[in-house]
Amino acid sequence: MAKEKVVLAYSGGLDTTAVIPWLKEVYGYDVVCCCVDCGQGEELDGLDERAQISGATKLYIEDVVDDFAENFIMPCVQAGAVYENKYLLGTAMARPVITKALVDVARKEGAVAICHGATGKGNDQIRFELGIKALAPDIKVIAPWRDDRWNMDSRQAEIDYCKAHGIDLPFSTDQSYSRDRNLWHISHEGLELEDPSQEPNYDHLLVLGVSPENAPDEGEYVTMTFEAGVPKTINGEAMKVADIITKLNELGGKHGIGICDIVENRVVGMKSRGVYETPGGTILMEAHKQLEELVLDRATMDLKKDIGNRMAQTVYEGKWFTPVNEAMIAFTESTQKYVTGEVKFKLYKGNITKAGTTSPYSLYSESLASFTTGDLYDHHDAEGFITLWGLPLKVRAMKMKELENEKNN
């Protein structure tokens, strides 16, 4: 009789390698590994051999880079979704696309369970499991770090466990930063970052770029075009969204753009400190915002700001596959119809400086904005507007004065 199968979210690192024999031993499952490629680059090298040595029956490497860029990153860019005013959601946006791929593989393999390696202290356990509940409520979830039968509490313990099960791979016990990388960003946690009083060691820490101090002494001009809120070209070269982000990562990293040191509030209730490198994402969001300033009316921008904040929290909390997030994406998409035009800016030592924006749908009128009186605007019209706009303030002040006089008499 064939064994039941579990799909393991697999990175090839020590944690998920140790999980393979543990799942076989504790649950008696055949383990199907699934590595979801969100743009983590060379981290995927050698996974086939590593999974086979570790005892997996099969390995899937699912390329979701374009799906991630177009259907998860861009809705957040268009919404201006930024968690706690700083975090550009690099990890949070990737978890739903990874979950979707895991569920697809589980369905294909007829698996009864999906296993993830997220710890019981972090946000990712919530993001993975809410996604699985929404997409595949019939599939069991296994979280080893919350399982009483998982007795490995250190890297050395995991290495020893692997060796005891015939897995002798070149894992190191050296302590390093805990990192998460994808097309959009790379995050860093651990070591000196665990103490908020300590300055990050950027010379040792940075992966995607350099610090502003080490960036070139000359700035670089970049021109981008957008159509209906979607980036289309960089410096005149047409590219798909994923390639645009990759190119912006290169440009932003070179000029020290998008390095952010954050103490954030995790969903589980604790504060955590990390450094995020999001060079291309920082540029893309700023360029998109620069164009929106020109084409969106005030009321739409105000509401969009509220929606962006709410969407950021929703995505951060793992609620991508929910009606409210679907509705927020639909609203945002409706605002992008006329977000078309060209944006120019200069990158220089961590800064993105505007260098000109144009759009056929621009609401900016030079004749209206200038100090010269034109046909559409007469300075005298402002008097009546101010009278009506300030009427509530005047009425309240008169009432308060009346009450004060009554009190004094």
Q: Catalytic amino acids?
A: 15, 95, 124, 178
Closest C-alpha among 6, 340, 7, 13 to residue 169: 13
Q: Which residue has the tokens 């369905």?
A: 107
Q: What angle (nearest 5°) sits at the alpha carbon of residue 212, between those of residues 91 and 258?
A: 20
CA–CA gap between residue 393 and residue 409 (Å, rounded): 25
User: What is the residue-wise DSSP string for 260-316?
Assistant: EEEEEE-TTS-EEEEEEE-HHHHHHHHHHHHHHHHHS-HHHHHHHHHHHHHHHHHHH
Residue 140 contacts residue 113 (beta carbons within 8 Å): yes
Q: With residue 219 as reference, give the H or E element that holds it.
A: none
Q: Provide φ and ψ at 348, rounded to 5°.
A: -155, 110
Q: Which of helix, strand or coil describes residue 3?
A: coil
List residues bridging with 187 in a β-sheet. Answer: 180, 276
Closest C-alpha among 10, 35, 12, 41 to residue 182: 41
Q: Provide φ and ψ at 399, rounded to 5°.
A: -65, -45
Residue 244 contacts residue 231 (beta carbons within 8 Å): yes
